[in-house]
Structures are given as C-alpha cells and as structure tokens.
Amino acid sequence: MSSVAAPPLAGIRVIDLTNLLPGPYATMILGDFGADVIKVERPPTGDPGRASRPTIDGISTRHMMVNRNKRSIALDLHDDADKATMLTLCADADVLVEGFRPGSMARLGLGYDHLATLNPRLVYCSINGFGSSGGSERTDPPAHDLNFMALAGLLAPDPESGTCQLPATQFADLAAGSMNAVIGILMALFARQASGVGQHVDVAMMPGALALQVEALAYLNAGQPAPVGGMRLTGRYPCYQVYKTLDDRFMAVGATEPEFWANLCNLLQVPELIDQQYAEGDAGEAAVAALAARFSTRSAEQWEMTLVGSETCCTPVLTPAEAIERATSAAPGLLVEHEDTHGRALRQFLSACTLSRTPAVHRTPAPLLDANGDEIRSEVRDSDRST
C-alpha cells in the first residue's frame, strides 16, 4: 500500500496581490496543491471580484470559484503600518504574485528589485497585459481578455460571415495568464532548488495569447498566408466540421486521421466520401453538404448513440450546463461539492492535472475579507520577535 505523501507545495508560502480572474485562478491552483496562499486585499471592499455577478445573497459565486484554499488579510499598502506588515510577509515568503499595471508595485516600494534585496529567494510573478519590460510603446495600456485576444489575432472576422466570434471562455486570462503564471512559478521554484535564488517571472497575456497561434505560424513558416476562417482547424475540410442535427443541435467531427474518417463515413453510410477527407473547393463544399444532409436526418442523441465510442472522433456539442452535468462520469474527481463560508453547498472544479500520490485538495472555501487578518498579523509579530 502506498504511503500518503505530503502535498507537493507544502511549506511554500505565496503572497497573492491579485484581483478578479487570472491571478486568483493561478494562486488557487498553487493552494490546491498545498501552498499557504495569503490573499492580500485592499480595505474596505477587497478584491473587486467579490462584487462580480452572479451572486448568492450578495456574494459572488465567481469569486468563490477561484479563491478557495487561501487566507485573507486586508492591508492598505499606502498605510505605513500595513506596508510594514506586507514587507515582513514578503521577507518570509517563497512566492509573490501581483497583477497591477507595470510600475505600480515599484512606486509602492514593493517592486522586484527592492523585494529581491530583502528576500533573495523570492519568486516574484507579475501578471500583466503587455509585459513589465520596455521595448514597446504599448507597455501598460488598460485592457482585458477581449483586447488581448483581438491583438493576438484570435478574434479575426470570418471572411464569409464578416463577423467576429466572441468565445464564452476567457482564454487570454486563463490560458495565457493563469496557466503561464503557474508554469513560470513552478519552473522558478525548481531552479531555486539548485541556485538558492529566486527570480522575476513576467507573464504578459497578449504575447501569451499570440503564442497560441501555432496553426497560423505553421502556414507562415511554409511561405503561405495564414487564411482567416480557412485554416485546417477552422472548417476548411469536411473531416473537421460541426454539423446540425434534426433537432437543431450539433455534432462535432474531428476525424483528422484516415482510419477515424473511414469509420465515420461507413457508419453514416456515405462510403463514397472516404476519399474526400481533405477535399477543398467545390469538392470540399459538396462533401460538407452531403455530410450535413446526412446528419440532419437524426437527432443529436440518436447520432451520439450511433457514433460515440465507435472510433469516429465525433461528439455532441454540449451546452455549458450539460457539460458540467456530465463531468462526474466524464472526468471523475474534477467536480466536487463543498460548503462555502456560510454553509451553502457549492460545486467547484478541482485541478484537471491529476497526480496519483499528491492530488489537488479542497481544504477551505474562499475566505471572507480579512477573515484571517488577526492570525496572519500574529504570525508576522512572531516572525519579528524571532529575527
């Protein structure tokens, strides 16, 4: 029988100065794997995400989704006493994560250069829009997820409809911001094991979103224009498309391998399309039309019963609510239910990164503002006495 291992980040203290989504999501992941995350919030209202919709009894459920496994302390960093508390916290911390516009932390006397002198082992992560360093005339304009995706070419209008499709998920915030922050912090902690010295991790969301444009860059590297709406994975071929069903639902076909495409064509009883997998032009349009006609003869549920699990890479297009309801069977352990600070049952996603011996754990719900202020200040006083 395997022994119970300590959480991988046990003993790591994280000072979280972030708000809203990218930073809190990143620090929550660190907390899920055992880090002691201290969420520093500005009084009297704290993280603006606490007021974001939707809410239960005036409390934001979105805020609760991304702030579990943390402790909260309210500090006014313009107040001398609170700033002294902050500096003491930083002196003993392993990681600091901030999400202010470049230059803001330095003006408070909390920039990387200053804190690295105070604590050379500190891993200091900045999450921002365009990068903390110079080299661009656009270093710190105000922007959000939609702006970063727009500048990264991810919202370019489809040539046929002439419209931009706005995704329902904040990819720049979460993929380019949160995930890169976690990766950078873990890499810096790993490097510190050898060097004993921390470093500055600069996570810029616009460049991070641009780095997702692997498909477009592949075309450019081949000396070809990157066609908006006509790339391999944006509906260019019959084998990678979304088709409407009899009940006005949709089935997603992602059969890029010949064997999966052949299986699909045979199960759809259109074997004549097997050699049209990557057809383009008139032939491609004809193949798409033939598949569309076939899918329109049955409901999505009927097609799912016929195709899913039959080596065809064909799945129903679910609504967010349907996807979450299926999560228990599709991804065991991903969706958990715990009580919030008021005793209400809330469902939450745990990390989708599953470790066999040291999995993510939901220990505590998102704290109320300054809920742990007294205990953290007591720890600071104890630290002062021991130095």
Residues noted as catalytic: 144, 173
Q: 37 forms bridges with which residues in the sheet?
A: 14, 70
Spatial separation of the C-alpha atoms in residues 250 and 319, rounded to whole Å? 11
Question: Before 102, cis peptide (omega within 30)?
Answer: no
- CA distances (Å), 125 to each of 23, 203, 260, 292, in order? 10, 7, 44, 48
Strands of 162-313, DSSP E: 200-204, 240-244, 250-254
- CA distances (Å), 96 to each of 2, 38, 93, 193, in order? 34, 10, 7, 17
Spatial separation of the C-alpha atoms in residues 175 and 217, rounded to whole Å? 18
- Rounded to an integer, what is the distance from CA 315 to the centroid of its chain? 23
Spatial separation of the C-alpha atoms in residues 384 and 376, rounded to whole Å? 12
Encode 209-236: b = buried (16+ Cβ within 10 Å), e = exposed. bbebeeebeebeeeeeebeeebbeeebb
What the block records as the tokens of 54 is 């939707």
Spatial separation of the C-alpha atoms in residues 15 and 96, rounded to whole Å? 5
CA angle centred on 250, ends 248 and 251, rounded to 5°: 145
Spatial separation of the C-alpha atoms in residues 32 and 196, rounded to whole Å? 25
Tokens 């991304």 — which residue? 66
Tell me which H or E stretch contains 305: helix 300-307
